[in-house]
A and B are shown apart, each in its own frame.
Chain A
Amino acid sequence: MNKFYHILKTLFLFSWSLFVVFPFLWALTTSFKDANAITSGATYIPWVDYEPSTQGWTSLFTTGSQGINIVGPFIDSAAVTLIASLVSLLLGTLAAYGLSRFEYRLGFVKNADITFFFISQRIMPPIVLAIPFFLMLKELGALDTIFGLVLVYVALLLPIAVWVMTDFFAGIPKELDEMAMTDGCSPIGAFFRVILPNSVPGLVVAGMFCLIFGWNDFFFAFTLTFTETQLLPVSIVSLNSSVTPWWSLSAFALISVAPLACVAVIVERYMSRGTMSGAIR
Chain B
Amino acid sequence: MLQVDQLTTADPKVSLQDISFQFDAGNIYTILGQTGAGKTELLRALIGLDPLVEGDIKLDGQSIAKRPVKDRSMSLVYQQFINYPHLSVLDNVAFPLRRQGKKKADAQSLAAKMLTVVGLGDYLQRRPAQLSGGQQQRVALARAMVKKSRILMLDEPLANLDYKLREQLREEFPRLVTGNDDSVILYTTTEPREAMELGNTMIIMTDGRIVACGPPADLFANPPTKDAASVISDPPISFISGFVRSGALYFGEGQLAPNNGLHLPMDGPVTIALRPDAIEPGGAFNATIGLSEFSGSETIVHLDFDFGRAIMLVEGIETFEVGSHMSVSIKAEHIMLFSSDGQNITTRIK
**A179-B78 in contact given A184-B99, A184-B100 (Cβ < 8 Å):** yes
Chain A nearest Cβ from B154, distance in angstroms: 12
Q: Which single member of B82, B96, B143 contacts A175 (CB below 8 Å)?
A: B82
Chain A nearest Cβ from B108, distance in angstroms: 15
Q: Does B317 contact A (CB under 8 A)?
A: no
**A175-B78 in contact given A185-B99, A186-B70 (Cβ < 8 Å):** yes
Q: Does B282 contact A (CB under 8 A)?
A: no
Query: How many residues on B have C-beta within 8 angstroms of the other chain's C-beta atoms?
Result: 20
Cross-chain contact B78 with A183 (CB below 8 angstroms): no
Instruction: Tell me, in angstroms, the Cα distance from A21 to B69 when the chains sit together.
Output: 57
Q: Does B47 contact A (CB under 8 A)?
A: yes
B residues 81-100 touching A (CB-CB < 8 Å):
82, 84-86, 95-96, 99-100
Chain B nearest Cβ from A197, distance in angstroms: 4
Instruction: Tell me, in angstroms, the Cα distance from A182 to B48 when the chains sit together.
Output: 9
Look across to chain A and name the residue whose beta carbon is closest to the beta carbon of B140. Answer: A179
Look across to chain B and name the residue whose beta carbon is closest to the beta carbon of A181. Answer: B69
Q: Does B226 contact A (CB under 8 A)?
A: no
B150 contacts which chain A residues (CB < 8 A)?
none
**A173-B82 in contact given A183-B95, A183-B96 (Cβ < 8 Å):** yes
Instruction: Tell me, in angstroms, the Cα distance from A189 to B98 when the chains sit together.
Output: 13
Instruction: Tell me, in angstroms, the Cα distance from A181 to B99 when the chains sit together.
Output: 10
Chain B nearest Cβ from A102, distance in angstroms: 12
0/1 per residue, A129-168, Cβ < 8 Å to B?
0000000000000000000000000000000000000000
0/1 per residue, B57-91, Cβ < 8 Å to A?
00000000000111000111010101011100000
Chain A nearest Cβ from B249, distance in angstroms: 50
Q: Does A268 contact B (CB under 8 A)?
A: no
B100 contacts which chain A residues (CB < 8 A)?
184
Q: Does B39 contact A (CB under 8 A)?
A: no
Instruction: Tell me, in angstroms, the Cα distance from A78 to B227 when the chains sit together.
Output: 69
Look across to chain A and name the residue whose beta carbon is closest to the beta carbon of B71. Answer: A184
A194 contacts which chain B residues (CB < 8 A)?
84, 86
Q: Does B302 contact A (CB under 8 A)?
A: no
Q: Does B147 contact A (CB under 8 A)?
A: yes
Cross-chain contact A173 with B80 (CB below 8 angstroms): yes
Q: Does B10 contact A (CB under 8 A)?
A: no
Q: Which single member of B75, B85, B86 contacts A183 (CB below 8 Å)?
A: B75
A185 contacts which chain B residues (CB < 8 A)?
70, 99
Instruction: Tell me, in angstroms, the Cα distance from A2 to B143 when the chains sit together.
Output: 58
A175 contacts which chain B residues (CB < 8 A)?
78, 80, 82
Instruction: Tell me, in angstroms, the Cα distance from A183 to B82 when the chains sit together.
Output: 12
Q: Which single member of A176, A182, A189 contacts B76 (CB below 8 Å)?
A: A182
A-B contact pairs, 16 of them (CB 8 A): A175-B80, A175-B82, A178-B76, A179-B78, A180-B84, A181-B70, A182-B69, A182-B74, A183-B70, A183-B99, A183-B147, A184-B99, A185-B99, A186-B68, A194-B86, A198-B85
Q: What is the interface of chain A, defined by CB distance below 8 A to chain B? A: 173, 175-176, 178-186, 189, 194, 197-198
The 8 closest A-B pairs by CB, nearest first: A184-B99, A183-B96, A181-B69, A197-B86, A184-B70, A175-B82, A182-B76, A198-B86
